[in-house]
Amino acid sequence: MESNLIWIITIAVIAVIFLPYAIKFRKSTHEARHRREEAIRLGADKPMAQYPSIDQLRCIGCGACVAACPEGDVLGVVMGKAVVINGLKCVGHGRCAEACPVEGITVGLGDISIRDDIPLMSGQNETNIPGLYIAGELGGLALIRNAINQGKMVIDHIKQVYNPVQSNTDEFDVIIIGAGPAGMSAALQAKKLELKCLLIDQQDAGGTILQYPRKKLVMTKPVEIPLYGALTKPEYSKEELLEIWLGLKEKYIEQIHTAEKLIGVNRNNGFLKVTTDKQIYLSQNVILALGRRGIPRKLNVTGEDLSKVMYKLMDAEAYQNENLLVVGGGDSAIEAAMGLARQKGNKVILSYRKDKFFRIKKRNEDRIKDFILAKKIEVLFNSDVERIAEKSVLIKDGQGVREIPNDYVFIFAGGEPPFELLKKMGIQFGGN
């Protein structure tokens, strides 16, 4: 009798301790599996750049990586193992890898030999064309710190393996295409190492930072900028970063050509010939520090050529008391919509062709919910723009086609990456 009582008490204690855990584990696994299935349905499980690669043999299913990720929904635990839920949300922070107690996660590009969106490069970011390098997000890795480090690394390699040109000639040691974080870092390191350098950008110094809405905060980790010092704060605003870049440009960059577009690069008598829409240059080395977005993707609808249609938002405060339409469901669209909704008197409508947001940062996801609940932004899911007129826009959704008053349209439908341009140069990609 006493033995039976001990067994009953033991089973009761086990049930009290472990049953809630089992229920919670079952629920979280079910939710993660559901999110993964939804991500696969929406095409969000496949990464566009870097992503977490999980060693299933090492993984113990503790969930530390899930909790550490600041973006949310990138990872989940299904059947006791970590899996990638939404690969598109990964921006390469690497906190999941830092949190894993068994070192079972690496954040990178995976096997680039099977990826047709990543150029094939050496460990020094040199392409199959000698002297032609890639730095920054064009190579697949996001984050400003990666871009800065790669720009510096490539210049260090060039300094080691190439003899400098004569200063009194027209040729350059290195020509850098793109004046964003990677390109600026490379140009500053070239200045530091006394290499003859030309920096070219189709816009101005800052690169993709120029496209951020005002006061957008950019997450970084401590990183060293050549001739400047360390960026040590966890976040910098757009204005702070631009002030840094423009100050460095004025102080150190001797030769920079802005508003000049790259046409192509090819070999010519031992040099690389760089052709732009304005001139032809010769250089021993070329660094492509371009973005991956390329030319803005258009909707190809009637009225898209009107002057009220734009593909980036430079200053939200310039728009007040307006009827505004933002098209897209990524971070750029969400941030632009929120920036416009903060301004006096604006009525903001956000049109997205899918049934929910699935590739935006966690903090944007939380903020947009607040804007929607406060009725500062109206979101039209499963909708498409049919036609743009001078004072209105026709939008088709599940309830048919309706005409809404409109003063300006902002389209954030991604961009056409410059991969074709690179392939014309002869740069090889994986997946071939």
- CATH assignment of the domain containing 33: 3.30.70.20
Q: Would you state the pLDDT for residue 53?
A: 81
**CA within 13 Å, CB half, 298:** 12
Whether 285 and 157 share a structural domain:
yes
Domain count across the chain: 3
Q: Would you state the pLDDT for residue 307?
A: 86
Q: Would you state the pLDDT for residue 138?
A: 86
The answer to whether the CB of 385 falls within 8 A of the CB of 345 is: no
Q: Would you state the pLDDT for residue 239?
A: 78
Whether 307 and 356 share a structural domain:
yes
**Given CA atoms 378, 384, 388, 392 in this order, what sign does their dihedral have?**
negative
- 124 is a domain residue: no
Q: Would you state the pLDDT for residue 304?
A: 92
Of 168-172, 312-316, 427-431, the poorest mean pLDDT is in 312-316
**Confidence bin at 165 (pLDDT 50/70/90):** confident
Whether 164 and 281 share a structural domain:
yes
| DSSP E strand boundaries for 277-383 | 280-288, 295-296, 309-310, 323-327, 347-351, 377-380
Indicate which CATH number applies to the domain containing 336. 3.50.50.60
The pLDDT tens digits of the residues spanning 30-83 come to 565 666 565 555 555 555 567 788 888 888 888 888 888 877 678 888 877 888
Q: Three-state SS for 79?
A: coil
- 115 is a domain residue: no
Helical H segments across 135-237, by residue range: 144-161, 181-192
Tokens in use for 208?
């993709």
Q: Would you state the pLDDT for residue 211?
A: 60
Return d(Cα 155, Cα 285) in angstroms, integer.
10
pLDDT at residue 345 above 60? yes
Whether 151 and 249 share a structural domain:
yes
Q: What average pLDDT does the segment 160-178 reach?
A: 89
Return d(Cα 257, Cα 202) in angstroms, integer.
8
Domain with 320, as residue range(s), is: 298-414
pLDDT at residue 256 above 70? yes
- 5 is a domain residue: no
Q: Would you state the pLDDT for residue 408?
A: 94
What's the chain's average pLDDT? 83
- 61 is a domain residue: yes
Q: Would you state the pLDDT for residue 380?
A: 95
Whether 326 and 306 share a structural domain:
yes
The answer to whether the CB of 271 falls within 8 A of the CB of 171 is: yes
- Please state the φ and ψ torsions of residue 402, each to the nearest 5 degrees: -135, 150
The answer to whether the CB of 364 falls within 8 A of the CB of 331 is: yes
Whether 144 and 286 share a structural domain:
yes
Task: Say if pTM beats, i.e. exceeds, 0.75.
Answer: no
Whether 290 and 142 share a structural domain:
yes
Q: What average pLDDT does the segment 330-339 reach?
A: 90
**Confidence bin at 163 (pLDDT 50/70/90):** confident
Of 45-59, 122-136, 278-292, 301-315, the poorest mean pLDDT is in 45-59
Task: List Cα–Cα distances, 231 to 91, 169, 221, in angstroms.
Answer: 19, 36, 8
Q: Which of 126, 123, 64, 70 lies closest to 99, judged by CA?
A: 64
- 127 is a domain residue: no
- Return all residues near 1 (Cβ < 8 A) that are at least 6 apart: none
- 119 is a domain residue: no
The answer to whether the CB of 297 falls within 8 A of the CB of 415 is: yes
Whether 171 and 38 share a structural domain:
no
- 113 is a domain residue: no
pLDDT at residue 279 above 60? yes
H-run or E-run covering 256? strand 256-257
Of 22-31, 245-254, 303-312, 398-407, the poorest mean pLDDT is in 22-31
Question: pLDDT higher for 432 or 235?
Answer: 235
Whether 286 and 309 share a structural domain:
no
Whether 284 and 150 share a structural domain:
yes
The pLDDT tens digits of the residues spanning 94-150 come to 788 888 887 888 877 766 666 777 889 998 999 999 999 999 888 887 778 888 999
Whether 232 and 161 share a structural domain:
yes
Q: Would you state the pLDDT for residue 104?
A: 82
Question: pLDDT higher for 140 or 5?
Answer: 140
Query: Percent of the chain, pLDDT > 70?
Result: 83
pLDDT at residue 427 above 90? yes
Q: Would you state the pLDDT for residue 352?
A: 95
- 103 is a domain residue: yes
Question: pLDDT higher for 223 or 276?
Answer: 276
Q: Would you state the pLDDT for residue 275?
A: 96
Question: pLDDT higher for 294 or 303?
Answer: 303
Return d(Cα 79, Cα 100) in angstroms, integer.
18
Whether 150 and 79 share a structural domain:
no
Q: Would you state the pLDDT for residue 394?
A: 96
Q: Would you state the pLDDT for residue 137?
A: 84
